[in-house]
Amino acid sequence: MDSVELYRQLLGLTAPWKVERVDLDVARQRVEVHVGHPTGQRFACPECGRELGVYDHLAERVWRHLDSCQFLTHLHTRPPRVSCPEHGVHQVALPWAQGGSRFTNLFEALAIEVLLAANVKNAAAILRLSWDEAWHLMERAVKRGRAAKGSTMPRQIGVDEKAIAKRHRYMTLVCDLEEATVEYIGEDRKEKSLTAYFDAFPKESRERIEAISLDMWPAYISACRNKVPGADDKMVFDRFHLMRHVIDAVDEVRKREHKALLEDGDTTLTKSKYLWLTNPENMTDKARERFEELKTAELKTGRAWALKEALRELWSYQSAAWATKFWKRWYFWATHSRLAPMIKVAKLIAGHLRNVLTYFTHRITNAVAEGLNSKIATVQKRACGYRNPNHFKIAVYFHCGGLNLYPSSVAHTKVG
């Protein structure tokens, strides 16, 4: 087999495309494969498929292909153009690459595999690409994958905020709760941060959303109300977010009580913050011993903690009716506790109760989103923090978006 035939097979070229010449540069370790077509060949108009004669050829273009025995391999051709009476002059579709790409489909597929497995810096080194080329390749893969999803929306979504940098920079994350994928990343955590996600879909798609898990955050609530038909029956205030508000209230009680005790020289609560926030099952023996003592002492913090523990029961009921009965008892207890932060959080939840109880219809939580958060943290760590928010978004979609990242002609075929 001569090298021309070998490269025709390696490139998977089919008629009318053929390898015309292979130039090997041993000193520079490069293989240049020149591809062309017979004269008189007819090509389809990319718009309508009509077969037409060649109008002219563009200047030579070059695509990076899979290396041949560690030699950088490039494919060269002058792309033909056709002149369609209806659609005008267009370049014909080339089977080995996507329009606008500087890589062949097979190279792109390999690059995606490597980028999924390594950080960008290492992947770029393995693939002998520059850092910018690697990012560009990821960005194209993400764009392609997101475009392929069309206008289908998830049935159950989770909305969450995420701090991405130390300077309180926030992003809004929308997750598909069934697929455990990141569907959308919006700047900031304002109403428009979430509205922008919904606006990308027609109303019929938004109507099909069945349930939304979120925190009691007014900006998100009004984005859902304005954009999702029937949102009031679909929103579920996530139990983990709710409990976080209650935990914060317990901590507020502790801070105030500790301050008051210290004024009398009482150090009972010194260095106890962690004890009130930790599940006793996860404590060391020594910590648990001290916590048992604190719990039985007559402390305001102890009462606040007991209230918090009791509230967890709410989600164990089978029906909204029973949960409502429990809630009324808990609410009475909390609002008569004479602990201002607990009264405040009880009233906050009471004001949102309707969409706390929708849990018993939809039974969703943001637990999936929490899992994704740790995956995102890994992605973030890999790229040392992402000072560029656009890179952060691309990386999260690339690794957590559940997208088909591959060019269409090699989709579902694994590069071996």
Interface contacts to Zn ion, rule CB under 5 A: 45, 47-48, 50, 84, 86-87
Measure the CA–CA gap between 382 and 373, rounded to whole angstroms.
14
Q: Could you tell me the smallest distance in angstroms from the CB atom of residue 86 to Zn ion?
A: 5
- Closer to Zn ion by Cβ: residue 23 or 47: 47
Cα of first residue to Cα of last residue in the chain, in angstroms, is 23
Report the nearest approach of Zn ion to the CB of residue 95 (Å). Answer: 19
**Least CB distance from residue 81 to Zn ion, whole Å?**
12
Q: How far is the CB of 53 from Zn ion (least distance, A)?
A: 13
CA dihedral 53, 58, 59, 61 (to 10 degrees): -100
Q: Which two tokens stand for residue 267?
A: 């150090």
* Count of other CB atoms within 10 angstroms of residue 280: 12
The DSSP symbol for 408 reads G
Per the structure block, which two tokens stand in for 17? 């495309």
**Cα 201 to Cα 210: distance, rounded to the nearest angstrom:** 15
CB of 39 to Zn ion, least distance (A): 22
Residue with Cβ nearer Zn ion (87 or 362)? 87
Pair of tokens at residue 319: 């029906």
> Token pair for residue 373?
């958060």
The backbone torsions φ and ψ at residue 175, rounded to the nearest 5 degrees and listed phi first, read -115, 150
Whichever of 54 and 84 has its CB closer to Zn ion, that residue is: 84
Looking up tokens 């200047």 gives 59
Of the pair 25, 47, the CB lying nearest Zn ion is at: 47
Least distance from Zn ion to the Cβ atom of residue 41, Å: 17
Between 87 and 290, name the residue whose CB sits nearer to Zn ion: 87
Interstrand relation of 156-165 and 211-214 (parallel, antiparallel or unpaired) = parallel
- Shortest separation between residue 93's beta carbon and Zn ion, angstroms: 12
Q: Collect contacts of 231-236 with beta carbons under 8 A, ≥24 apart.
A: 232/354, 232/355, 233/358, 233/361, 234/209, 234/210, 234/358, 234/362, 235/211, 235/355, 235/358, 236/211, 236/212, 236/355, 236/356, 236/358, 236/359, 236/362, 236/364, 236/365
Residue number with CB closer to Zn ion (86 or 285) = 86
Q: How far is the CB of 84 from Zn ion (least distance, A)?
A: 3
Q: Pick from 11, 186, 171, 217: which is nearest to 95 by CA? A: 11
**Residue number with CB closer to Zn ion (87 or 245):** 87
Rank residues 2 and 86 by Cβ distance to Zn ion and give the closer one: 86
